[in-house]
Every structure is written in C-alpha cells, then in structure tokens.
Amino acid sequence: MDNNRSMNWMDEVMKSKDRLLADLIALLRYESVKDLSSSAVGQPMGKGISEALQFMLDLATKEGFNAHNLEGYAGYAEYGPSDAEDHIAVLSHLDVVPATGKWTNPPFEPSIRDGRIFARGAIDDKGPAMAAFYALVIVKRLGLPLKHNVRLIFGTDEEHASTCMQRYRELEKPPLCGFTPDAEFPIVNAEKGQINTKLILQRSEDFDSSWQSEAGEAGEAGKVGETGEAVVFELLHFYAGGIANMVPESAQASIKGEECELTAMAAAYEVYCVNEERIGSSEVDGGRITFSMTGKSAHGMEPQHGVNAGLELLHFLGGYRYQPAAERFVACVDDCMYRDCYGRRFGVDMQDEITGSLTINTGILKFDPNGESFFHLNLRYPACGEDTFILERIADKIGRFGFVIDQPILKKPHAVPADYPMIPILQKVYQEATGLAPELLATGGGTYGSQIPNGVAFGPLFPGRAYTAHQPDEYMEIEDLLQATAIYANAIYQLANMDVEAEERE
C-alpha cells in the first residue's frame, strides 16, 4: 500500500516496548507443559496451558479484539471489517516442552540479562506469539484500512500431536492464507513429512535366532565368565528421554547379576566412556549395578546436533547377554538406531533438493520387564518420500526382533508455491526491514504453517542467530523480538489488503 512507504514500523513498536515485555514476562510465567493429569472439560491439555490461553484471550479482549476460546483446544483474537469474506491467519502456540537440564535461572521465572529474555518458551513460541499480538495492536491503533480480517490463532498442542489445530479445523472456516512465527526468517514455504510412532516389543519369546547374526555387536555371545560360559545378566529397567521431538540428554539402566561380574562391567563401562568421550557413571550395590549416561539434547528435527544418551548407553550394554526380551530390546535398538540419524540402518535414507535429508530421532526409550517396552520414532522425510514405503521398511527390520509398529501419527510434506501472492509480499516486507535477500527455505520441523491452506513459517529467528528452542537457558534477543514485531505489523497490514483471485481462494 502506498501509505506504507512513510510508515516507520519500528517507531510504532518502541511506543509499546514496555507493555510488550511486561506482558511477555507474565505469559512466560505459566508452566504451560502438556499435563493430562490436570485435564478437564475446557482445559484438555491441562491446567498450565489453559491458564496461558486464557491470559492471551483476556489481553485480546482488553485491546478490543473479538476473542474466542474453542473448548480449550485453541483460541483466537480477530480484528478487521465485519463484512470481510476472508481472514488472514497468524498462528502461534502457547504450549512448551518440559524444561529439562540445568538453567541459570528457574525456567518459568523469566529474566532479562545481556539484552536477552530467558525462559522456557521465550523463542518457542511465546515470545513470537506476543510479537504477533502487538503487531496487530499497532495496526489497530493506527486505524489502518483492511480488506480482510486478521485472526491471531493460539494453539495448545503444537509440541505433541497438534490436536488443537485438528479441532480448530473442525470448528472454524479455514483462512485464506497465513503464517506462523515459529521457525526462521526469511520464509519457510516447504516442510518435510513426519511419522511419529512407538516401536513396541512383543512379549512372546517365539522368535528364531536369525536376528542375532544381523545385529552386530548386540547379537554376539557376550562376556565370558570364569567357567568359560557366557554370563547372562538381568536387565531390570532402561529409560531415556521424556519427549519425542527432543534428543535424550540422559539415560539410566539397572542390571542384576553376580557382584564380581558387575564390578568387571563397571570397569569396562569406565573405559568405554573414556574411549568414546562420553560422560557416564555406574554404581555397584551388592547384586545390582546402576548406569547413567549424559548426552546432549537437541531438537528432534536436527538430531545430528545432539548426542543421544540412550543410544550411547545401549551400545555399551549390547556387549552383554540378558534375559530373552531384554536381549531383543537392546539388540534391536542398537542395530536400528546407533549413531544413525538418517535412516541408513532401516534402509530408508533419502533426500531431495527442496527439503533435504530424511532424519530420525528416538526421543523416548524404555524397557520394563513387567510393562511396556518400546522406543519412539520421530521421523521427518523429504518431499520425495512416501510414508507407506518408509513404514514397510521399518516394520520389516524390527519384525525380526519381535517388535511391531504402533498406530503412527502421520503428517504429509507441505509446500506453498513461490508464486502464490502472499510469498512476494512477505519477501518484500522482510527485505525492506532487513536489507537481506528474502530466500525461500525448507525445514524438517513441523509448524502450524502446514495446518492451514497456503501457510508458511515467517521468523522469528534471524540469520546467524543461535536457535535455543528446547534447550536449557532458552532465550530470545530483545532486539530481535522488537524487530520481528515491526516486520509482523507490516506483514499483517499488507496481507490484510492482498488481492486474491477466485481460484487462489481454494
């Protein structure tokens, strides 16, 4: 729009800086981790998420927006002409992943230092949600004319199965197009497909031993005791990780056996940790040994940047013999997943020029002799892939060890054409604000952009900045938060006045 040429969006943002930061600090205080133990009617994701959602809707009401709570699954704040045929969506999420690891300050007690705001959710996704909210506040305050309504949608289950958006689509008309401030700048217009599922160990011991010859170290005879026979230990439990789309940073195992054999195992583990440059410890207490392993957490879409503590510990354990169910568990996980983030061991490695390589993360691993034993897959595949083929390959591999695939949650690859009218608008807005080339990007992450027609991800991470989502001491640069707010205000204004042909509305 012509009158946008003289608009200084950053000046408008600075007028609201103090209020924006105060409201963001208040939002970050809510421990909005999914908690089904506190689930109830109107708060399906639990008490903390429900409170964070209501906080945003109350803010929206105070600003004069039309606010709606959709059964606690999602909410929205809307502004624009009452007779508009379409609306533009800006989607953010208020749920966060658990705050694991060591934090300088408590993760839900926000702190500002060195020009950054620290808290769980600071950049994923409460900071960007508040930036988008104040962007719309600015557009409203300026009284700028709009052709389309603008709807800020607040989700509650993005970090898990996005059931919030499934319910939203059941209850509401889809937007014309939109963006989510939940990735990186410039514009992410293509996303990988995803497969999320558990690979579950079956209890029947009616399996042949063919898997042992295919399992590498995990299938070997194991350590030999003083009698010259293989020593068989009892795996009492194994556990690593807590959320599917994070690389586990810790793992624990407990094993029963003869004390002298366990002492030798502890010594071998110490050597293993030194040789592999890993941080681990063990403790022998009578006829039981407890192991721990420390890795490095990372986002599930980039497992190659982490160290999976569960896989590192299981690889060591794979050099020993156990009761049959434990033997198959250790052998399968080690053979299928050890130091392979790209699916080569499953025979599903692939890549394309648009969305890159397939990646696999196993974020939760559990062996329980008296309960369920499984490892979880968070697999992200490029646009050239097909979920049926991938699942068939995985099923064939794990079936040899007596595992089956649980009902998977599937997400197809998503892409918005470069010539769709929204794309050049966002490119121009970004380039005018930063002076940087507005390239189109692809991601292995799953964002709300794929949950709506013609949806993309637009920021908030600027090129060259560290991405601290899902990490201890998560933060967002305050300078970036303010600049993103200015960019979003301009983008909202431009998109809300976008001309779209009839065929492009479909």
List active site positions.
95, 158
Q: Which token pair is 235?
A: 């795996």
464-471: long-range contacts, CB 8 A cutoff, minimum separation 24: 467/123, 467/184, 467/299, 468/122, 468/123, 469/123, 469/124, 469/299, 470/97, 470/124, 470/245, 470/246, 470/297, 470/298, 470/299, 471/101, 471/297, 471/298
329-364 in b/e form (b: 16+ CB < 10 A) is bbbbbbbbbbebbbbebbebbbebebbbbbbbbbbb
Closest CA to 315 of 283, 357, 362: 362
What DSSP designation does 185 have?
S
Q: Which token pair is 151?
A: 């709807």
Place of tokens 């063919």: 210
Reading phi first (left if > 0) and then psi (alpha if -120 to 50, else beta), residue 381 is in: beta
> 3-state class of 381 per DSSP?
strand
> 3-state class of 72 per DSSP?
coil
- Contact present, 443 and 457 (Cβ < 8 Å): yes
- Give the whole-angstrom CA distance, residue 178 versus residue 495: 8
